[in-house]
Amino acid sequence: MSRKQALLKRHRRNKRMALLIGLLLLIVVGVLVAWWLPLLLAVIGWIAHEAWFADHLFYSPKEDYLYNFPPEAEVMGITLQGGRLILQAPLDLSGDETLILALDVRSSWLGRFFDPLIELVGAGVADSQAFERGVSGLRYLNLTGLGKALVDGSLRMRGRFATVRGQPRLWVFRQPDARQQRVMVIAPHADDAELAAFGLYSQAADTWIVTLTAGEIEAEHYQQMGMGKAEASRIKGRLRAWDSIAVPRWGGVPESQCVQLGYFCLQLPAMQAAPDQPIASREAELADTRIFRQFNAMKLPGDADGAPTWNNLLADMRALLLQARPQVLVMPHPAIDPHPDHICAQAAVLEALEGLEWQPEVILGYANHLHDNDRWPMGNAYNGVSLPPVFDADLRMLPYSLELSVDQQRDKAMALGMMHDLQPPMPLKRRVRRWLQSVLAGRRWPAEGENEFFRKAVRRHELFWRRDL
């Protein structure tokens, strides 16, 4: 069982206990006070849950985030004076550095009902970055793109439903611009590349996108069209295979440099455990990957027999790495992205690189999912991305962030809108929850699409974690 599964299991157990205790209390109230009062209290409790307590947050918002950045990256002598960030000594910035500011953020009492956030304004740029309701601890703002205002002393900071205590700390990370290098994005599923790195790959000098699985499972949307389970799974996989080849063209990536490997969703861990054994699809009644490779412009070793094996996956990856010769590999970060296919995707790439004649220079890790917080990045679309929760000070995390213009963010939103898996409408329960949260908690969702990823991924920043090889 993964850490996230264990956290979710504990969360559900605690919720069941709370519901049981609440039910017993309602029965007591009904017996001692009035029969109708439990019904009223139950409705009020359900509304409160949907508006304020439905987030999957598996830690206390009072816990400090524990990042351990290199001391040489810290800039000494930054203070917060009258709502302005002031540098005590001149700071030379070229404009593309990653800037991270640590703050002790405390929510107001209203910050338990509305998302606490820090608003940033300076040099013609406005941003806001949100945190957990009830936050009371160390958090990390992403100031990438605000360097000019920081240097000239015009960067203002204001809490909304939150205050800042003490003095901040600043780190500057100076790294080569990945957009000027050959980039290969590893996507476990169609849309992972767009969610994490559309801004990067659409600006890179030379980009390859490699999608490992067809993402064919959980095809209920297509079953509602009258298809059987296996047929629905196959057509979903074919559509997502098409998406993985076609949508990157919107970002300027040649069709010949988009590859779909066609392995089966959520089967990578089983493949890794038995490298020679073919692992069939869970739902599509398939044991041949070639049905999902039909749009590829190049032949790969796994095309010979279509067997869904780990060894075929490694052979495919080695061939692609030698063909593309990327300087920068962009792939899921195994320590903070808990999805099993994401963990196995980076493991497959690293194993394929062992002994290979071509080696990239750097890995940029990303997280489209988190162990602890299903809402991160918090706040609204088109705002900045603060750093995610990390509670292991021994985990080496070097942030690398890019700023996206509004036009680039809109292009990213349109790319997500083309992805078939992000198009199905929300279930009624989620629609009701969103309506309650918009009315009672002041939350807003973007007009570009209903799926939660339109809020989470269309942002001023793309955030990665750098590791040199």
Domain range enclosing 86: 71-173
Mark 410-419 as b/e (b = at least 16 C-beta within 10 Å).
ebbbbbbbbb
Q: What confidence tier does 17 reach under pLDDT thresholds 50, 70, 90?
A: confident
145 and 226 housed in the same domain: no
Q: Reduce the DSSP state of residue 343 to 3 states and report it.
A: helix
211 lies in the same domain as 352: yes
Predicted confidence at residue 429, as pLDDT, reads: 93
Residue-level pLDDT at 31: 67
pLDDT (mean) for 117-127 = 94
**Confidence at 360, pLDDT banded by 50, 70, 90:** very high
CATH of the domain at 89: 2.60.120
pLDDT of residue 79: 96
Domain CATH number, residue 377: 3.40.50.10320
Last residue of a domain, one of 147, 173, 199: 173
pLDDT at 46: 87
Query: Whole-model pTM above 0.85?
Result: yes
How confident is the model over 259-283, as a mean pLDDT? 98
Residues 34 and 81 in one domain: no
Same structural domain for residues 132 and 14? Answer: no
Backbone angles phi, psi at 296, to 5 degrees: -70, 145
Asked if residue 58 belongs to a domain, the reply is: no
345 with 457, same domain? yes
Pair 31, 106 in one domain: no
d(CA 11, CA 407): 39
Find, among 434, 462, 465, 467, the residue nearest to 377 by Cα.
462
Tell me the CB-side half-sphere exposure of residue 448, using CA atoms within 13 A: 24
**Judgement on whether residues 15 and 90 belong to the same structural domain of the protein:** no
pLDDT value of residue 41:
81
Q: Does residue 65 form part of some domain?
A: no
Asked if residue 242 and residue 125 are part of one domain, the reply reads: no
Asked if residue 78 and residue 42 are part of one domain, the reply reads no
Q: Do residues 168 and 246 both lie within one domain?
A: no
pLDDT given at position 8: 60
Question: Residue 446: what pLDDT?
Answer: 96
Confirm whether 60 is domain-assigned.
Answer: no
Same structural domain, 189 and 329: yes
Q: What is the mean pLDDT of the chain?
A: 94
From 173, 195, 226, the end of a domain falls on 173
Lowest mean pLDDT of 10-14, 89-93, 192-196, 391-395, name the range. Answer: 10-14
Residue 408 lies in a domain: yes
Judge whether 213 lies within some domain: yes
Per-residue pLDDT band for 24 (boundaries 50, 70, 90) equals confident
Q: Give the pLDDT band (50/70/90) at residue 387.
A: very high
Separation of alpha carbons 199 and 197, rounded Å: 5
Q: Is residue 41 assigned to a domain?
A: yes
Number of independent structural domains in the chain: 3
Residue 253 sits in the same domain as residue 330: yes
pLDDT at 2 over 70: no
Percent of the chain with pLDDT over 90: 86
Q: How confident is the model at residue 21 (pLDDT cuts 50, 70, 90)?
A: confident
Query: pLDDT (tens digit, 9 = 90+) per residue, 207-244?
Result: 999 999 999 999 999 999 999 999 999 999 999 999 99
261 within domain boundaries = yes
How far apart CA 55 and CA 374 sit, in angstroms, is: 7
Is 66 contained in some domain?
no
What is the model's pLDDT at position 6? 66
